[in-house]
Amino acid sequence: MERTKEVKIESIDELIAAAKRVRANAYAPYSHFQVGAALLGSDGRIYTGCNVENASYGLSVCAERTAVFQAVSQGLTSFQALALVADSEEPVSPCGACRQILAEFSPEMPVLMVNLKGKIVRSTVEKLLPSSFTFKKCEEEKVK
């Protein structure tokens, strides 16, 4: 049975608006692909992040991870929802690294992928990364 968290409509609208706003701060001189993320914390606050690119591409950081790292740096590790906004034909989904980071903290969390035209695709972290790596799983396998 799939468990999903209910998030109020007002919170969803606010979350998407915050992701759109922070998207403008993205540092994307190489790809010119700006992404904004807004994370609704279990404390009711919204934590935002945008992508930050680097000439050494491997050092670039996605918007989702920036938002998570901001929240964690402020002491929060439990989240209710994520909105991800990009200017693309279809809404974009988190990359594999971001999916794993999100699964670390809130695997059941709803993820709203949104483009600037208003199209929204809804999913959950569990659906996006059904077999996420966890230390707990490794320990359980050692016991078997």
The domains of the chain, with CATH numbers, are 9-143 (3.40.140.10)
Token pair 């992701």 is found at 19
Q: Is the pTM of this model over 0.75?
A: yes
Q: Based on the residue annotation, tell me whether 64 is a catalytic residue of this protein.
A: yes
- Cα separation of the two ends of the chain: 25
- pLDDT tens-digit readout, 81-111: 999 999 999 999 999 999 999 999 999 999 9
Evaluate whether 75 touches 105 at the Cβ level (below 8 Å).
no
27-65 tens-digit pLDDT = 999 999 999 999 999 999 999 999 999 999 999 999 999
Alpha carbon of 111 to those of 36, 59, 116, 117, 142: distances in Å? 13, 25, 16, 18, 32
From 2, 10, 14, 64, the catalytic residue:
64
